[in-house]
Amino acid sequence: METTQILIIIAAIVLSFMVLKFVTKLLFRLIIVLIVLIVFYMGYQHFSGTNIFDNISKLCQNDKDLKCVCFTTPILDDINNRFTNEEIEKIKTNKLKCNIEFGRSFRAKESEIKKCFEQYGETSILEEILSEIKIKNFLFKNTNKEKNGND
What are the Cα distances from residue 96, in Å, to 11, 13, 42, 84? 50, 46, 7, 19
Q: Which of 62, 70, 65, 54 is nearest to 113 (CA)?
A: 70
Quick check: 63 pLDDT over 80? no
- Give residue limits of the domains in the chain: 1-48, 51-150
Per the document, the length of the chain is 151
pTM above the 0.85 mark?
no
The 3-state DSSP class for residue 56 equals helix
Per-residue pLDDT tens over the stretch 10-53 = 999 999 999 999 999 999 999 999 999 888 877 776 676 677 88
Mean pLDDT computed over every residue of the chain: 81
Q: Which long-range contacts (CB under 8 A, 24 or more apart) does 96-100 make?
A: 96/42, 96/45, 98/51, 98/52, 98/53, 99/45, 99/52, 99/135, 99/139
- pLDDT for residue 147: 42
The 3-state DSSP class for residue 123 equals coil
Per-residue pLDDT tens over the stretch 134-150 = 653 344 444 334 444 44
Quick check: 130 pLDDT over 80? no
Q: Give dist(CA 103, CA 82) in Å, integer.
A: 13
CA 87 to chain centre: 22
Which run of H or E residues covers position 58?
A: none
